[in-house]
Amino acid sequence: MGRMRAYLGRCRVDDVLRCRDRFGGVTLQGLAGLRIARYLDRVGELSGVDLDPAAYRNRPAKPSDQLTLPGIECAPFDWVSAQAELDLPVVRTAGARIRVGRVDDLRAELARDYPVPVSVVLALDAGWLGRRHIDSLEEALRAADRDVSVLFAAAYNPLDTVPKIEAFRRLLRWAADARRDLELLRTDLTGLPAVLEGATGAAIGFSTSTRHLGLPFAAKARDAYNRRKRSPLVFVPRLLHWQRANILGRLAEWDGAGVTYCDCPVCARAGHDLLRFDTIPGELPAGIENEVRDHDEHALAMVIEQILASDNPAAELKFRRINAVQRGRSIGAALDVGLDAPPAWLDGWA
């Protein structure tokens, strides 16, 4: 079975060691990630660590933007050799953002030759999972017959509808049939059903910026987002997704309504209740963000471990998903607290 791991954006060496300890593996990002990987290699601590070059974040250079001197060419950084030199378990290509419908770009990215075996990084607009484009995406993967590392770009949640989830599952079936490795980078707990259905791996991010490749918001949505984000997002094990701490706080009147309980080691030391993270915006007590992050990591790792260790992980996950959705719905029906709706995969993943 595939592996779940942590995906870290900006981070320090101690974050990497801690997350490797909790999740068994860590994917680092970009040049800063490479620097950390090289350091870990020097001190003999590189096991369980790999890298997403994440070059898809950069705009393609226009010839007019480049300062060129006659006779001197500036070669793009050789990400593949840099990873091969470190002997990383998977070597990923630099990666390109493939805009929806650009089949030629997709084919070109999949056709490139490398001196060592690689997994081709594809940063796909979520629109590729739409009805009009999924056939050509699947066809290109079939024709190329290579290992791929997929991540999706969207303003919010790339897998936000049942048809998109079904389209993504088609890719998983292609990989299984073709005996190819397909891994999912920059995802959330959606990576778990993907791994249960044959993905070779899924790297989970702990912040909204590492759970998918973000696209710009509309101005109005951005305002609402900024107002809300003053209160930290907290992973709620019983809902299997994240909620704002101030929204959870509205459940205090009902003693947390049965969803704010957490038995991760961080919460166990503090009374088991996520309600404690609700504080006045702008007056976050020192250390609370670290404590939220600590809880998020522990709680996610615990949920994943419990499900994978059960006799029938798929059934266990389904049971918890149904439970989570029902809990969220009954709170929504009975109490006017404004919980975020469950993400589509919780009840849309068949």
For Zn ion, the binding residues (CB under 5 A) are: 262, 264, 267, 295, 299
User: Which token pair is 315?
Assistant: 């059934």
Q: How far is the CB of 289 from Zn ion (least distance, A)?
A: 14
Compare residues 133 and 298 and give the one whose CB is closer to Zn ion.
298
Strands 49-52 and 201-205 come out as unpaired
Q: Least distance to Zn ion from the beta carbon of 14, Å?
A: 20
Number of H helices, E strands in the chain: 13, 11
Least spacing, CB of residue 25 vs Zn ion, in Å: 21
Sign of CA dihedral 216, 219, 223, 225: negative
For the CB of residue 199, give the shortest distance to Zn ion in the complex, in Å: 26
> Residue 117 in 3-state DSSP?
coil
Would you tell me how many other CB atoms lie within 10 Å of the CB of residue 221? 12
The residue among 248 and 264 lying less far from Zn ion, judged by its C-beta, is 264
Reported as half-sphere exposure (CB side, CA atoms, 13 A), residue 229 has a value of: 9
The residue (of 37 and 234) whose beta carbon lies closer to Zn ion is 234
Measured from the CB atom, the residue of 15 and 183 that comes closer to Zn ion is 15
Cα torsion 258, 338, 236, 345: sign = positive
Question: At 95, phi and psi to the nearest 5?
Answer: 95, 140
State the chain's maximal CA–CA distance in angstroms.
Answer: 72
Task: Report CA Rg, the chain.
Answer: 21
- The nearest distance, CB 237 to Zn ion, in angstroms, is 7
Is the distance from CB of 120 to CB of 109 less than 8 angstroms? Answer: yes
Closer residue to Zn ion, CB minimum distance, 100 or 284: 284
Q: How far is the CB of 302 from Zn ion (least distance, A)?
A: 8
Q: Which is nearer to Zn ion, 167 or 264 (CB)?
A: 264
In whole angstroms, how close is the CB of 256 to Zn ion at the nearest point? 13
Residues 344 and 161 sit within 8 Å (Cβ to Cβ): yes
Minimum Å gap between C-beta 124 and Zn ion is 33
CA distance 307 to 305: 5
CB of 235 to Zn ion, least distance (A): 8
- Residue 294 in tokens: 């600590």
> 6 or 264, CB closer to Zn ion?
264
Nearer to Zn ion, 97 or 295 (CB): 295
Contact (CB, 8 A) for 207 and 8: no
User: Which DSSP symbol is given to 5?
Assistant: E
CB closer to Zn ion, 277 vs 349: 277
Residue with token string 């793009």 = 76
CA distances from 208 to 7, 20, 204 (A): 12, 20, 11
